[in-house]
């Protein structure tokens, strides 16, 4: 709009709408000389016009309205417009241009009124500038939201007030681009190249392509653009899945599904993501199992937390949870499972062990029990909270030979040059020279499958330490409470098979039907019982006890880790070995081939010096899980 030149005088009573051009002309005039005598630089305000030096203010029609001669810079006019204000500013505004915001419309007219009354008011002109900037910003928002008619009306108001307003032409250009398909496609392609595929809202490729399709569903360029947008979202989803960010993966695929109706690309991506998720779940399972097997239960818990975060693996997670609980108690094994370990650098296996269930039992015997001995008191409860493995059989001569030869070990009997044997002629135990682990109970050469005897506590400890070093597994001697717990096998009777003579052959015991080579028999023995052996039998020749262990109440007794104590006062209640520094006696547990029925009881205990060896005591190993 151009307001310089001759213009008719506004008719009296026509209101502010007719006065708007006059105000707009005044708006374009920088304040060259203010009425209050002050000056201010307006170079950054609206485009300049210039008042003539002979500016003339004088009464016009006798109503107090002044006239002012104005011309634009660069305009050459022979006649100049002299505006007239026939009515008070602000009248009849309902007929004038309006903005969507009524409050903003009201303020616009107030500012124009103020500027009409005081054209040189810099503060008013600045506020008007800011208001018009805000109108352009709001028009841009409506352009982004495809409210094009409303945006155009707002920009037209700005153009009416200030045709050369900074940013107005650019806003009109955006409006025109938005208003035509080619412009929309250009915006979409620009956004795609700039990486604004799905954001920010209202200024992204998806938004622009969608706008074109809404106007022209058959537009192939826009349809291909939407396919490209969908491909981008699917690619991002797959990339995040490979980085194990499955939360954002699901969100991206949901967005991709909204882009276009063809879901084949999404379904193929979902199948690939399922494979990625499954592979990660399998990897986490392997990591969890490895942590359990190594006893690193805290690491296993962390891996299971990762599996929970992965989601969708409830069945697998439940199985691993149960396995972890078992691993904490049984090291990943199951009660009753028979295990053995291979040596790390040699072709040799450890003796077999059987996994014993965790549990609780009463250790020792009551004062009123038949056969009770004072060192079995007080009877007390022991709770074995972690499972362990115990030698399925006693250590054999053959197994001990591997140790001696590979470790170059000399037993206490070797160093002393003697041990104690059973003498058939006298029917008693006797010391004899040149007896060692290769000898049987009576001094003859031992059979490979016989339980090794003539071994001391020191020898037994050296053997389990060698197993531990060779396999990297925690082999050791049993504690006394573990031995009695395993011997009882969950029973509370005098023997694991009951309270008297067994009704079947269960162990190598002293029976009244047994007979030695010299035709001797036992004076104190189980009545009506014979197992056919005088002396140790080959290991594992008889029945297992309820925990699956051979020969634990007969054949030969075994060394355990504990120091000897005369009673159980202050004894550990958790299944651990009771050890004092420098103890002079060690504990022997379990019946043997020459034990009387009273000495075969589950609660019975013996002691000996750690260097003692003889024909009655052998070795049974233990392993932590």
Q: What is the pLDDT of residues 134-162, one digit of tens each?
A: 999 999 999 878 788 999 999 999 999 99
Instruction: State percent of the chain over pLDDT 70.
Output: 84
Residue 128 in this model has a pLDDT that exceeds 90: yes
518 near 625, Cβ under 8 Å? no
Quick one: which of 394, 426, 291, 385 has its CA closest to 624? 385
Phi/psi at 287 (5° precision): -65, -40
**In the structure, what pLDDT confidence band is assigned to residue 239 with cuts at 50, 70 and 90?**
very high
Identify the pLDDT of residue 75: 35
**CA gap 231, 132 in Å, rounded:** 42
Phi/psi at 130 (5° precision): -65, -40
Quick one: which of 420, 458, 412 has its CA closest to 442? 420
**CA gap 208, 192 in Å, rounded:** 10
pLDDT digits (tens, 9 = 90+) for 350-369: 999 999 999 999 999 999 99
Residue 53 in this model has a pLDDT that exceeds 60: no
Instruction: State percent of the chain over pLDDT 90.
Output: 69
Identify the pLDDT of residue 95: 57
**Which of 202-216, 323-337, 383-397 tops mean pLDDT?**
383-397
Span of 17-26, 52-61, 177-186, 212-221 with lowest mean pLDDT: 52-61
Task: Return the H-helix or E-strand segment holding 221.
Answer: helix 220-242
Span of 35-44, 145-154, 281-290, 522-531 with lowest mean pLDDT: 35-44
The conformation of residue 375, written as its DSSP 8-state character, comes to G
588 near 560, Cβ under 8 Å? yes
**CA gap 68, 355 in Å, rounded:** 112
Residue 586 β-bridge partners:
563, 608
Mean pLDDT, residues 415-444: 96
Residue 2 in this model has a pLDDT that exceeds 60: no
Residue 58 in this model has a pLDDT that exceeds 60: no
**In the structure, what pLDDT confidence band is assigned to residue 220 with cuts at 50, 70 and 90?**
very high
pLDDT, averaged across the chain:
85
Residue 460 β-bridge partners:
none
Number of other residues whose CB lies within 10 A of the CB of residue 204 = 21
**CA gap 364, 381 in Å, rounded:** 9
Give all strands of the β-sheet with 557-563 in edge-to-edge order: 605-608, 586-589, 557-563, 617-618
Identify the pLDDT of residue 130: 96
**What are the tokens at 185?**
């496609």
Give residues with Cβ within 8 angstroms of 289, minimum separation 6: 320, 323, 332
**In the structure, what pLDDT confidence band is assigned to residue 216 with cuts at 50, 70 and 90?**
confident
Residue 272 in this model has a pLDDT that exceeds 90: yes
Give residues with Cβ within 8 angstroms of 489, minimum separation 6: 496, 545, 546, 547, 549
Identify the pLDDT of residue 96: 67
Number of other residues whose CB lies within 10 A of the CB of residue 549 = 23
**What are the tokens at 564?**
């000897």
Answer left, alpha or beta for residue 479, where phi above 0 means left and psi between -120 and 50 means alpha: beta
The conformation of residue 598, written as its DSSP 8-state character, comes to G
Mean pLDDT, residues 519-547: 96
Span of 264-273, 289-298, 388-397, 530-539 with lowest mean pLDDT: 289-298
**What are the tokens at 86?**
């026939």
Mean pLDDT, residues 535-559: 97
pLDDT digits (tens, 9 = 90+) for 334-351: 899 999 999 998 888 999
What pTM, to 2 d.p., does this model score? 0.56
* β-pair type (380-384, 475-477): unpaired
Identify the pLDDT of residue 93: 55
Residue 359 β-bridge partners:
384
Residue 49 in this model has a pLDDT that exceeds 80: no
Residue 600 in this model has a pLDDT that exceeds 50: yes
Residue 63 in this model has a pLDDT that exceeds 70: no
**In the structure, what pLDDT confidence band is assigned to residue 14 with cuts at 50, 70 and 90?**
very low
Angle of helix 16-27 versus helix 148-161 axis, rounded to 10: 70
Quick one: which of 382, 364, 363, 362 has its CA closest to 373? 364
Give residues with Cβ within 8 angstroms of 230, minimum separation 6: 256, 259, 260, 262, 265, 266
**CA gap 536, 514 in Å, rounded:** 12
């Amino acid at each position: 709009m151009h307001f310089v030149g001759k213009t008719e005088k506004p008719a009296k009573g026509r209101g502010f709408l007719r006065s708007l051009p006059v105000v707009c002309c005044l708006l374009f005039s920088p304040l060259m000389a203010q009425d209050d005598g002050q000056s201010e630089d307006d170079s950054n305000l609206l485009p300049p016009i210039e008042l003539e030096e002979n500016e003339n203010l004088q009464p016009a029609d006798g109503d107090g309205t002044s006239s002012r001669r104005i011309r634009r810079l660069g305009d050459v006019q022979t006649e100049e417009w002299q505006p007239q204000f026939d009515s008070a500013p602000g009248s009849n505004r309902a007929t004038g241009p309006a903005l969507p915001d009524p409050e903003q419309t009201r303020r616009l007219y107030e500012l124009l009124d103020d500027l009409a009354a005081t054209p040189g008011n810099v503060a008013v002109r600045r506020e008007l500038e800011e208001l018009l900037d805000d109108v352009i910003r709001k028009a841009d928002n409506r352009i982004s939201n495809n409210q094009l008619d409303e945006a155009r009306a707002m920009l037209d108001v700005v153009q009416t007030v200030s045709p050369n307003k900074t940013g107005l032409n650019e806003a009109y250009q955006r409006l025109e681009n938005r208003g035509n398909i080619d412009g929309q496609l250009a915006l979409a392609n620009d956004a795609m190249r700039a990486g604004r595929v799905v954001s920010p809202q209202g200024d992204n490729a998806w938004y622009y392509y969608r706008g074109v399709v809404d106007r022209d569903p058959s537009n192939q360029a826009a349809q291909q653009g939407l396919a490209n947008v969908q491909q981008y979202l699917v690619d991002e989803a797959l990339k995040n899945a490979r980085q194990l960010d499955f939360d954002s993966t699901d969100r991206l695929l949901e967005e991709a599904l909204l882009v276009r109706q063809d879901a084949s690309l999404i379904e193929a991506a979902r199948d690939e993501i399922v494979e990625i998720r499954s592979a990660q779940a399998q990897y986490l399972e392997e990591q969890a199992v490895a942590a359990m097997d190594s006893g690193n239960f805290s690491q296993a818990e962390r891996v299971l937390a990762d599996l929970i975060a992965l989601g969708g693996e409830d069945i697998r997670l439940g199985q691993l949870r149960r396995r972890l609980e078992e691993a904490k108690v049984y090291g990943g094994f199951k009660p009753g499972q028979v295990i053995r370990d291979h040596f790390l650098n040699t072709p040799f296996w450890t003796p077999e062990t059987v996994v014993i269930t965790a549990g609780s039992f009463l250790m020792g015997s009551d004062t009123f029990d038949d056969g009770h001995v004072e060192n079995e008191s007080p009877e007390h409860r022991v709770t074995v909270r972690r499972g362990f493995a115990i030698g399925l059989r006693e250590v054999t001569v053959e197994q001990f030979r591997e140790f001696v030869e590979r470790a170059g070990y000399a037993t206490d009997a070797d160093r002393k040059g003697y041990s104690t044997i059973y003498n058939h002629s006298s029917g008693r135990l006797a010391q004899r020279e040149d007896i060692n682990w290769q000898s049987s109970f009576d001094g003859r050469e031992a059979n490979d499958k016989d339980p090794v005897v003539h071994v001391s506590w020191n020898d037994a400890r050296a053997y389990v330490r060698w197993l531990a070093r060779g396999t990297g597994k925690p082999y050791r001697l049993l504690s006394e409470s573990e031995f009695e717990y395993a011997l009882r096998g969950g029973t509370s009777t005098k023997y694991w098979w009951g309270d008297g003579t067994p009704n079947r052959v269960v162990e190598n015991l002293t029976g009244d039907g047994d007979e030695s080579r010299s035709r001797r028999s036992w004076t104190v023995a189980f009545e009506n019982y014979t197992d056919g052996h005088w002396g140790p039998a080959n290991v594992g020749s008889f029945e297992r006890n309820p925990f699956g262990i051979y020969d634990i109440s007969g054949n030969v007794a075994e060394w355990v880790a504990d120091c000897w104590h005369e009673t159980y006062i202050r004894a550990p209640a958790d299944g651990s070995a009771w050890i004092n520094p420098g103890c002079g006696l060690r504990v022997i547990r379990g019946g043997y081939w020459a034990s009387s029925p009273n000495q075969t009881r589950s609660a019975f205990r013996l002691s000996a010096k750690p260097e003692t060896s003889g024909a009655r005591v052998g070795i049974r190993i233990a392993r932590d899980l």
